[in-house]
Amino acid sequence: MTVVTEPAGSAATGAVPAPLTFERTVPRGLVHRHALSEVFLTDSARVDEHRFVAAAQLPPSHAYYTDHITPPAVDPLLLLECCRQAETHAVHTHFGAPLGTKFVLQEWSMTLSDAARTPAAGGPVPVIIEAGTQDAQWIAGTLRGLGYRMRVSASGRTLGEVTMRVKYVTEGVYAKLRGRAAGTAPTSESYRGVESSGLVEPGHVGRGRPENVVLLDPVRTEDAVTARLRVAGGHPSLFDHPQDHVPGMVLMEAGRQAALLSARTFTGDGPDRWRVGGLRASFGAYAELDEPLTVRAHRPEGEETPGRPTVRIGFEQAGRDVAQAVFSLERAGDGTGE
């Protein structure tokens, strides 16, 4: 078996956008969504061997992505989801991965710009994603790993940059990676009855609707706040389709809420005074649905710039770290355009 790894190159943002349409969404199966309301990608085109561009539309109202007590101009996790959809669509349409391919997220990061802090004029927001790829790994002519760097812009202004690293495996390899006998892992369909006892107050994590809260039973220690992950298997956005593990986007929502809860706990300022300005995360193991998962948000630290601390987040399950993340926070009102 031959393994070919392309050398790292400059991530090719700055790709020349091909004509892209915002008239309809791409086929939902190509972005691994079931509900059309959860598809934000509208088009994609390959520029060259290492670059592609994509178009997406941010909805003006969404039961999950726009539910914030102090609405951000752009929900960072909505931009991240758009980039995830762009990556997933590109692998299927531009790089030849069959629909049965399993995607294994290894790491990703996001940094927002001042333009992302400026309230939109209203209505849907069309965005362009310019993506460059690097460090492609091919095994026997099949793509098995790829790194991405994406620049997201709206009306010619950069909203932020996203990087990610993803592995691609067959269903057989995925079963081995899961490390569980066939049929023993429950799916999120088993968790449609949402647990509500001990639910964190929605306003404490920046939410207006309790159904969008994913943390339970918060406990403060000297240096951290811990909470238990609420597996809301019936949530139409977090679990758009049955999963046999907790998806990375659900962990990011738990991390965001934990970071805001930590800021509220240790600074005394509510989540209406904070917003997420960036994040980075790595994933080391699958988060199982049927084992308690603890989200640990450390005390905000490292304010190199006043009012802009970082919060380290650990995701712990059955004595192991399944993921690690760092969320950068900013005080609402900081930055240009506000």
Q: Is residue 336 part of a domain?
A: no
CATH number assigned to the domain comprising residue 74? 3.10.129.10
Residues 119 and 243 in one domain: no
CA distance 264 to 190: 33
CA distance 66 to 71: 7
Region of poorest pLDDT, from 4-18, 23-37, 86-100, 317-331? 4-18
Q: Is residue 337 part of a domain?
A: no
pLDDT of residue 12: 47
* Residue 27 pLDDT level (bands cut at 50, 70, 90): very high
pLDDT of residue 72: 65
Range of the domain at 156: 3-176
Residues 186 and 301 in one domain: yes
Please name the residue that has the structure tokens 């057989």.
172
Q: For residue 199, give the nearest of 160, 168, 240, 228 by alpha carbon.
A: 228
Higher local confidence (pLDDT), 288 or 71: 288
Q: What's the rounded mean pLDDT across residues 261-267?
A: 94
pLDDT tens by residue, 54-80: 999 999 999 999 999 986 688 999 999
Cβ 137 vs Cβ 3: under 8 Å: yes
pLDDT of residue 304: 54
Residues 39 and 118 in one domain: yes
The three-state DSSP-derived secondary structure of the chain is: CCEEECCCCCCCCCCCCCCCCCCCCCCHHHHCCCCHHHCCEEEEEEEECCEEEEEEEECCCCCCCCCCCCCCCCCHHHHHHHHHHHHHHHHHHCCCCCCCCEEEEEEEEEEECHHHHCCCCCCCEEEEEEEEEEEEEEECCEEEEEEEEEEEEECCEEEEEEEEEEEEECHHHHHHHHCCCCCCCCCHHHHCCCCCCCECCHHHHCCCCHHHCCEEEEEECCCEEEEEECCCCCCCCCCCCCCCCCCHHHHHHHHHHHHHHHHHHHHCCCHHHEEEEEEEEEECCCCCCCCCEEEEEECCECCCCCCCCEEEEEEEECCEEEEEEEEEEEECCCCCCC
pLDDT of residue 232: 94
Q: Is residue 41 part of a domain?
A: yes
Per-residue pLDDT for 223 more than 80? yes
pLDDT of residue 237: 97
Per-residue pLDDT for 324 more than 70? yes
pLDDT tens by residue, 133-173: 999 998 888 889 999 999 999 999 999 999 999 999 988 88
Residues 189 and 271 in one domain: yes
Point out the domain boundary residue: 142, 176, 210: 176
Residues 153 and 188 in one domain: no
Q: Is residue 23 part of a domain?
A: yes
Per-residue pLDDT for 296 more than 60? yes
10 Å CB burial of residue 123 (0-12, 13-18, 19+) is: exposed
Residues 130 and 268 in one domain: no
Higher local confidence (pLDDT), 122 or 78: 78
The neighbour count for residue 122, using CB atoms within 10 Å, is 7
Residues 162 and 190 in one domain: no
Point out the domain boundary residue: 146, 176, 206: 176
Q: Is residue 262 part of a domain?
A: yes
Point out the domain boundary residue: 176, 205, 234: 176
pLDDT of residue 99: 85
Residues 166 and 201 in one domain: no
The neighbour count for residue 308, using CB atoms within 10 Å, is 18
pLDDT tens by residue, 275-285: 999 999 999 99
Give the distance, in angstroms, between the CA of residue 139 and the centroid of all CA atoms in the same chain.
Answer: 27
Number of domains in the chain: 2
Residues 167 and 189 in one domain: no
Residues 21 and 150 in one domain: yes
Q: Is residue 101 part of a domain?
A: yes
Q: Is residue 15 part of a domain?
A: yes
Residues 123 and 240 in one domain: no
Residues 137 and 200 in one domain: no
Q: Is residue 315 part of a domain?
A: yes
Higher local confidence (pLDDT), 5 or 310: 310
Higher local confidence (pLDDT), 54 or 270: 54
